Amino acid sequence: MSTTTATEPAATAAARPARPPYRVTAVRVLRSEWAKAWSLRSTWITLGLGLLFLIAFGLIAAFQFKSRLTSGRHLDRDFADANALTLSLFGTNFAQLALGVLGVLIAAGEYSTGMIRSTLAAVPRRLPVLWAKALVYGVVALVLATAGVFVAFLCGSGILSGTRAALTLADAGVVRGLFGAGLYLGLVGVIGVALGVLLRSIAGGISVLVASLMLVPGLVSLLPDSWHSHISPYLPSNAGEAMFALHHDSTTLSPGAGLAVFALWTVAALAGAAVRLRRQDA
């Protein structure tokens, strides 16, 4: 009786096919990060706000310019040399905050909830998690931002048709500027992810992001002119603006140089995040 009882489970276990070992691949990590990003309500809300800022502020700027121009009112410095491209991209400064903050939330949010321990247990090598987060969110931010700036420009150019600020996609530098703005916002999202992993704090990541994009340029402007002219063009926000500016002068970088400098800032943020992720436990 006991012999029969002992051999039946052994025979059943032998008949059952062995489960194939689980393998961590780049595609699986990407799919995991994609699913986690879209499962958050904050992703939908913040992306919607970023798109709204891009389009709404661009249209408001175009309406304001045409209203002041047709009524004969004085144009302040922000509008005096404006064109359809600069007016349609007026919302970029606001959209960069929304997209950058969401990047911080996607990365640092896992640390605040403790979910990062499960993620790193599933992907022991760690760094693929960072690359997957940055790639997934960077592509999402790039596609959304590029679509937003093109919609804002097409609508804004219709409003400004017949004015001195009118431009079309056929004008020199316009398409390059629109794609440059989309790429800039996509890279801002990647920097947000890197700051979230580097600082592991939502409040800290957002604070550093806002300071680097908005506060530091204001502080640098208080420096002596000899210092300001050498430092200001290489700040992240100013280098990013050079990527989509239609006209350049001796105080700004060319589009290619602006892209190179901003890409270096992005790589530096990712490198810092990678070093901390490898060396310190969650």
Which has the higher per-residue pLDDT, 235 or 282?
A: 235
Decide if 209 is inside a domain.
Answer: yes
Question: Tell me: the pLDDT tens digits for 42-101?
Answer: 899 999 999 999 999 999 999 988 887 777 666 666 666 788 999 999 999 999 999 999
Chain CA centroid to CA 243, Å = 15
Decide if 259 is inside a domain.
Answer: yes
Question: Tell me: the pLDDT tens digits for 180-209?
Answer: 999 999 999 999 999 999 999 999 999 999
- 70-84, 114-128, 224-238, range with the lowest pLDDT: 70-84
Q: How many residues does this entry show for the chain? A: 282
Distance from the first to the final alpha carbon of the chain: 53
How many domains does the chain fold into? 1
Spatial neighbors of 38 by CB under 8 A, at least 6 apart, are: 44
Decide if 10 is inside a domain.
Answer: no
Decide if 16 is inside a domain.
Answer: no
Decide if 19 is inside a domain.
Answer: no
Domain that holds residue 256: 26-67+84-279
Residue 165 pLDDT: 82
Residue 17 pLDDT: 53
Q: Specify the pTM.
A: 0.88
- Smallest CA-to-CA distance from 179 within 85, 277, 45 is with 85
Decide if 4 is inside a domain.
Answer: no
Question: Tell me: the pLDDT tens digits for 152-181?
Answer: 999 999 998 888 888 999 999 999 999 999
Decide if 104 is inside a domain.
Answer: yes
> Percentage of residues in the chain with pLDDT exceeding 90?
58
Question: Tell me: the pLDDT tens digits for 93-116?
Answer: 999 999 999 999 999 999 988 888
Separation between Cα atoms, residue 180 and residue 184, nearest integer Å: 6
- Smallest CA-to-CA distance from 276 within 136, 107, 112 is with 107
Decide if 45 is inside a domain.
Answer: yes
